[in-house]
Amino acid sequence: MTVDLRSDTVTVPTEGMRRAIAAAEVGDDVYHDDPTVNALEARVAEILGLGAA
């Protein structure tokens, strides 16, 4: 398998990537409804020793 990382417009997702995308839990990050964004913000705040965003 070749992975071309020059741009997201040339990357063809694998079947595993497609399954992960289809199964991903998503929400609106503006309203703090996206669990992935929430986890990322909490982790970065923890690493930097700051309060949550």
Does 31 reside within a domain?
Answer: yes
Residue in this structure with the two tokens 């694998």, named with its chain if needed: 14
Sign, CA torsion 48/32/36/2: negative
* Separation CA 41–CA 25 (nearest Å): 16
Does 53 reside within a domain?
Answer: yes
For 16-41, how does the pLDDT look when each residue is reduced to its tens digit (9 = 90+)?
999 999 999 999 999 999 999 999 99
Looking at the 3D structure of the chain, how many domains does it have?
Answer: 1
Q: What is the mean pLDDT of residues 11-19?
A: 90
Q: For the CA atoms of 26, 31, 37, 42, what is the dihedral angle to 10 degrees?
A: -140
- Is pTM beyond 0.75? Reply is no
Domain membership of residue 41 as a residue range:
25-53
With residue 42 as reference, give the H or E element that holds it: helix 35-48
Does 18 reside within a domain?
Answer: no
Q: What is the mean pLDDT of residues 39-51?
A: 93
